[in-house]
Structure 1
Amino acid sequence: MKKNILLAFTLMAALSSCNDWLDKTPLSDITEENYFRTETDLQLFSNNFYNTILDKSPYDQQSDVYVQQELSDELLGGSNRIVPASGGGWTWTALRNVNTLLGNIDKCEDEEAAVKYSALARFFRAYFYFDKVKRFGDVPWYDKELFSSDEELYKARDSRELVMTNMLADIDYAIENLPAKEEETSSPFRVNRWAALALKARFCLYEGTYRKYHNVSLDGHDYAYYLEQAVKAAEELINGGKYHLYSTGNPEEDYLMLFAAEDANPDEYILAIKFDYGMSLYHNATAHTLVPTQGRPGLPRKLINAYLMKDGTPFTDRAGWEKMPFTEEVKDRDPRLAQTVRTPGYHRIGQTEILAPDLSVSVTGYQPVKFVQDPTASGGQVDRNDRSTCDLPVFRYAEVLLNYAEAKAELGTLTQADLDKTVNVIRDRVAMPHLDMAAANANPDSYLSSAEYGYTNVTGSNQGVILEIRRERAIELTQEGFRFDDLVRWKAGSCVNQSITGMYFPGAGEYDLSGDGVTDVVLYTGDTKPDKKDAQVYKIGSDIVLTEGESGYVDYHHNISRTAFNEERDYLYPIPINERSLNPNLTQNPGWNDGLSF
């Protein structure tokens, strides 16, 4: 058995990248005689699934509503997106590990443990394949250990319908056989049946909306079937009553504190990734937004404009919104805005010093604060690179509520009662007025449907409420790794082409951005730099570029060439050249030219 396992791993590694091989779990001690026998064996072997399959840095993923100094290839488009020789997401080590466990689990002498860890492995296999389907569409389905003589190593890609059907079988088994929350500890760091329901709701919503907006029709299930499955899974989780949104009754802080807290909130975080100072487990979220060498991230003005006024009306209905200066535009807005970026009055958690947005570390001026911890966290080192220790969400209850509402809206079965138990529960946390379905559909927000800022392909009687759910999703889930996937499934690549600009400045002068009456930023023209030692001083046209020359929006990326999103190519990623060379049965995705012809 040991020889066969290693042969399978070695050959599959040859069909992937060298880095993929180096990342695999060492198997030198695995034999038929001494492993997979006990629950401890199964747990130890499966622990690596959490590390290799879950995303440990969702906070820095770029999209049309979150950018950095160096734009991602997806935002640059055109020839910046190429067919890689290897890598490119076409890695299979994690799946091999999952299938190794499933292929050996009948050796376990504890039948209950065997069922439990079979369910866990099938959860992770569904999670793994969801990532592959999002990225590549059709992919080979492997559900068993493969050996050197197996012709399946060189099989063609299977249809996404076959893969999705198998994913549903896996996740339904996981839902049926994973322990419920009350049967384990309250720790959100282990997969339970509620996490499985959350995953099912997530990937079924993705598949349903992808097929609807891309007009995909395959033998098997239609888009409505997947949306109905998303509704059922989310509804079961909601009705289970095991989770609720974190709230202390303070709408001005609760959203911020949820993400900055050292420990994941077990009532809202269904599954989280553990980080811990004492265990030297870190990520980079705090330094990412504070250290100028970490990407200088910022939210574009497009998203800032989407936050509603505190009274529930659109900001973009206000006269003069297009050229409103920072301190005016952020007044009386949805409280999540001030808990997502620095606004007047901002101070670090546990501190009293008022801090202005720092234009030297944010390319738009809208400086993120989500996941930014108390400066005393991590032994006082949290502001250093890779020293953040707040736990990161994989699934949280707010996403499930949004998934339920969106799936029903796209099916045409959404009711006001549905909104009241989902979107409006989310709004209640920040004391925002409720979303009224009839009013939204009677008067869809033109900002959200415009070619310049929104989505042009949402139509029908539910247009208004679908747009509002998308607004809520962009705001509530920002920096959680969903946005680019959302654009793909909505066939909204045009959003990638929209302008990336920041704060508006009417011209040279002194600006108080923190609201404490003290000048924070000085913009000037000419050759004489103002002597303002306690302020950020920038020369217009060189240190800072504005869209209209001496006035306008911050336009950091003005000299970067961006090519329009390719509607015929860019919704899927290419299969790496080396993989197709090794396996000529792998067809390339549409629009990607890798120079191979067979």
Structure 2
Amino acid sequence: MKNKLLLLMCILVFTTGCKKDFLVQEPLASFSDQDFWTSEASVRAFAMGYYKERFPGFGVNDVGGVFSIRETLNDDYASVSLPGFPSQPTVSGGGWATYFSDIRKDNIFVDRVSGMGMKLGDSATYKHWVGIARFFRAMDYCDFVFDYGDVPYYNRPLTDYDTALFRPRDPATFVLDKVLEDYTYAAQNVKLDDPGTGPRGLVITRDVVDAFMSRQLLYAGTKLKYDPATSAADRVKAGVYLQAAKDAAARLISSGRYAVADNYQKLCSTIDIGATPAVNKEMILYRRYNTGEVTHAIASGNNVNTIQGNGAPKDLVDAYLCTNGMPIKTTAGVNPAYLGDQTAANQLANRDPRLTNTFRTDRFYLQYIETGYSVTGYKCYKFLDEPTQNEAYAVQSFNITDAPIIRFGEVLLNYIEAAAELADMGTYTVVQSDLDKTINVLRKRAGYTAASRLPDMKIIGNLPAVGATVYDDADRDPSVPSLIWEIRRERRLELVYEGFRENDLKRWRKINYYNTQLYPKKNLGAWITKSSVTKALILADINGNVTSPSNTATGSGYLKVSQTFRNATSGFVVDRNYLLCVPTYQIDFYGRNGSTLTQNPGW
């Protein structure tokens, strides 16, 4: 029977093949690209496909995202291995290929939605979805330029044989001008609310567009401003992008739709942000997590019994101001409010409340003494919902705390930094009201007690002050103006471990801060006195010089975390790392097709 059936099938194939080759015909029930773009529901489904990749939050299970230790190349962490930038050129793939794939998707989105017209119902809905598509393209191109500098710009989907496939790199400012055009359109046309897609905070709205516009154009403007290769004309462009960032942030500030959360620690450790008004009021966009749907592992890393192999260095802890609003040491001397660093109680007393909302204050969590130690002794708990830390969903990769994607606190910092950078360029003057509606708002969180709350930052003669007293941090980088230094401090401490530090140092042209030979406090931990229990630890003085080697049961000093430097000699901190390597295969591929793709400096 099987042989007869096979013979019959062969006869049918050959006889029908004489009339029509069915192997190259469209299936009778085929679904084409044209069939998809027919309604708002299909457009909405396509847009939702972006969320997981563009807004990863805490990632999924134990991978993804940039929060907590996911951004390991970070001078706010010390670790035994001290990871550095790539030391070898990229051959193929990498970020370059990913950006091209993402931007092709963006251009398809823009092209298809632009051609739908009244299929979307009305003009406002049509412009809303065109704005969403252009928003994603602006995001991707801004990141592409940040990572690679000059890049080929495409505003339409390409075919396999398109002559534009081997387009040379366009100047970064040309691409950023296009980014600004896309962002401007989106900011003017994306709706304030999109209930058909989801509630505010979980879907893209005009406020989300403005928030990301403030972030990304601040990045673009400052990176151009501080790049020594930037021309005078491009420096003017940097000012344009900074002004656009400031304006976008100003729109959100003046809207009155957002306020800072009451509790700083709960920003990154709330199980259900939507049901927690005291936290939700700061969230412009966040990602929800639910058991059985999507979970993560960020909170588990902050559990009291979890070892933290990446710990806060002394450099970070010392950056927190004292409750009198001054650094631990100014050019006038040691701050009298600072009680020293030789016990946890002293070091963490009288400090910015964000310090005690980020690190445990009861003791130093030392190896050989604590089950859940930190390699620096400073135990982070910023991402832990303590009341539920023993529940099944608080361990391993089952965590369900919601992740901030972009929040109002960051937007306040974007505004004041853009304003200060414009002032440094001579096109704006920072006044007290700028500080009062940004940094001083963050210092007045409702959850802070009056005794712990930092006093307002004042500005006197373009210098930071407390009350009528102008001050200058003794540890300030002399190349950074005092006011900008203090604004950067606020940004570092407000957003610590939320995935910003690496990009911030790149755009400020300050990746030399990663160099632990130049900045030894970035490789030191808490001050301890050794015993027979902790004798394996290595201690050093404030300059990183070993004072008590391993297996010595006596001596006092700072924990020395890594025994090797992260420096230029090791290849981990060099100027070429301000831009990524263009894959060498791509350069060769261009050449074999009669075009030229240039490499970034140093690679």
- TM class by shorter chain equals 0.7 to 0.9
Q: Which residue of 406, 412, 418 maps to 2:434?
A: 418
* Partner secondary structure for residue 597 of structure 2: coil
Q: Which residue of 206, 212, 215 maps to 1:199?
A: 212
Give the residue type in structure 2 aligned to 1:261: T
1:14 is matched with: none
Matched, 1:576 2:586: no
Confirm or deny: 8 A CA contact 1:234 1:404 kept in the other structure. Answer: yes
Question: Normalising to structure 1: TM-score of the pair?
Answer: 0.78
Q: 1:357 to 1:256 in 2, by over 3 A?
A: farther
* Partner secondary structure for residue 283 of structure 1: coil
1:324 is matched with: 342
* Partner secondary structure for residue 150 of structure 2: coil
Matched, 1:558 2:573: no
2:4 is matched with: none
Q: CA deviation at 1:367?
A: 1.9
1:504 is matched with: 526
CA distance in 1, matches of 2:341, 2:304: 29
Matched, 1:174 2:189: no
Q: RMSD value over aligned CA atoms?
A: 3.0
Confirm or deny: 8 A CA contact 2:191 2:206 kept in the other structure. Answer: yes
Q: 1:448 to 1:272 in 2, by over 3 A?
A: farther
Unmatched segments (≥5 aa) in structure 1: 1-27, 75-79, 248-253, 348-355, 450-454, 509-522, 530-536, 593-598
Q: 1:372 to 1:201 in 2, by over 3 A?
A: same
1:352 is matched with: none
Q: Which residue of 291, 301, 306 maps to 1:277?
A: 291
Give the residue type in structure 1 aligned to 2:434: D
CA distance in 1, matches of 2:225, 2:161: 40
Matched, 1:334 2:333: no
2:499 is matched with: 481
2:266 is matched with: 257
Q: CA deviation at 1:501?
A: 2.8
Confirm or deny: 8 A CA contact 2:214 2:245 kept in the other structure. Answer: yes
Confirm or deny: 8 A CA contact 1:273 1:392 kept in the other structure. Answer: yes
- Note the 1:188-227 alignment, pairs <5 A: 188-215=201-228, 216-217=230-231, 219=233, 221-227=236-242
Give the residue type in structure 2 aligned to 1:308: L
Q: 1:361 to 1:44 in 2, by over 3 A?
A: farther
1:286 is matched with: 299
Confirm or deny: 8 A CA contact 1:49 1:98 kept in the other structure. Answer: no
1:237 is matched with: 252
Q: Give CA deviations for 1:194-240 in whole Å, capped at 9, x if unaligned.
A: 11111111122122222222241265643222221121111111111
Q: 1:269 to 1:323 in 2, by over 3 A?
A: closer
Alignment length (residue pairs): 508
Matched, 1:466 2:490: no
2:36 is matched with: 35
2:474 is matched with: 447
Confirm or deny: 8 A CA contact 1:186 1:266 kept in the other structure. Answer: no
Q: CA deviation at 1:560?
A: 5.5
1:87 is matched with: 93
Q: 1:568 to 1:504 in 2, by over 3 A?
A: closer
Q: Which residue of 250, 261, 270 maps to 1:246?
A: 261
CA distance in 1, matches of 2:300, 2:38: 44
* Partner secondary structure for residue 212 of structure 1: helix
Q: CA deviation at 1:241?
A: 1.1
CA distance in 2, matches of 1:53, 1:151: 29
CA distance in 1, matches of 2:194, 2:45: 23
CA distance in 2, matches of 1:73, 1:292: 28
CA distance in 1, matches of 2:307, 2:130: 40
2:547 is matched with: 548
* Partner secondary structure for residue 434 of structure 1: coil
1:532 is matched with: none
CA distance in 2, matches of 1:115, 1:189: 20
CA distance in 1, matches of 2:562, 2:380: 18
Q: CA deviation at 1:503?
A: 3.1
Give the residue type in structure 2 aligned to 1:554: L
Matched, 1:162 2:174: yes
CA distance in 1, matches of 2:574, 2:232: 20
Q: Give CA deviations for 1:354-375 in whole Å, capped at 9, x if unaligned.
A: xx99585422121221122346
Q: Which residue of 459, 477, 490 maps to 1:437?
A: 459
Confirm or deny: 8 A CA contact 1:277 1:379 kept in the other structure. Answer: no
Matched, 1:135 2:147: yes
* Partner secondary structure for residue 388 of structure 1: coil
Confirm or deny: 8 A CA contact 2:312 2:525 kept in the other structure. Answer: no
* Partner secondary structure for residue 34 of structure 1: helix
* Partner secondary structure for residue 89 of structure 1: helix
Q: Give CA deviations for 1:483-537 in whole Å, capped at 9, x if unaligned.
A: 11111111112211122334333422xxxxxxxxxxxxxx42xxxx5xxxxxxx5
Confirm or deny: 8 A CA contact 2:300 2:306 kept in the other structure. Answer: no
Confirm or deny: 8 A CA contact 1:68 1:297 kept in the other structure. Answer: yes
CA distance in 1, matches of 2:191, 2:79: 41
Q: 1:288 to 1:577 in 2, by over 3 A?
A: farther
Confirm or deny: 8 A CA contact 2:282 2:407 kept in the other structure. Answer: yes
Give the residue type in structure 2 aligned to 1:507: T
CA distance in 1, matches of 2:204, 2:490: 27
Confirm or deny: 8 A CA contact 1:83 1:574 kept in the other structure. Answer: yes
1:539 is matched with: 536
* Partner secondary structure for residue 440 of structure 1: strand
* Partner secondary structure for residue 411 of structure 1: helix
Confirm or deny: 8 A CA contact 1:505 1:553 kept in the other structure. Answer: yes
* Partner secondary structure for residue 547 of structure 2: coil
Confirm or deny: 8 A CA contact 1:444 1:467 kept in the other structure. Answer: no
Q: 1:291 to 1:140 in 2, by over 3 A?
A: farther
Q: CA deviation at 1:336?
A: 0.8
CA distance in 2, matches of 1:111, 1:294: 55
* Partner secondary structure for residue 488 of structure 2: helix
Q: 1:541 to 1:440 in 2, by over 3 A?
A: closer
Q: CA deviation at 1:124?
A: 1.1
* Partner secondary structure for residue 272 of structure 2: coil
Confirm or deny: 8 A CA contact 1:326 1:503 kept in the other structure. Answer: no
Unmatched segments (≥5 aa) in structure 2: 1-28, 58-64, 274-278, 424-428, 549-554
Confirm or deny: 8 A CA contact 2:202 2:285 kept in the other structure. Answer: yes
CA distance in 2, matches of 1:328, 1:47: 49
- Note the 1:115-154 alignment, pairs <5 A: 115-154=127-166
Question: Normalising to structure 2: TM-score of the pair?
Answer: 0.78
Which has the higher mean CA deviation after the structures are superposed, 499-508 or 117-126? Answer: 499-508
Matched, 1:590 2:597: no
Q: 1:296 to 1:408 in 2, by over 3 A?
A: same
Q: CA deviation at 1:68?
A: 4.2
Confirm or deny: 8 A CA contact 1:443 1:464 kept in the other structure. Answer: no
Confirm or deny: 8 A CA contact 1:378 1:387 kept in the other structure. Answer: no
Q: CA deviation at 1:71?
A: 2.8
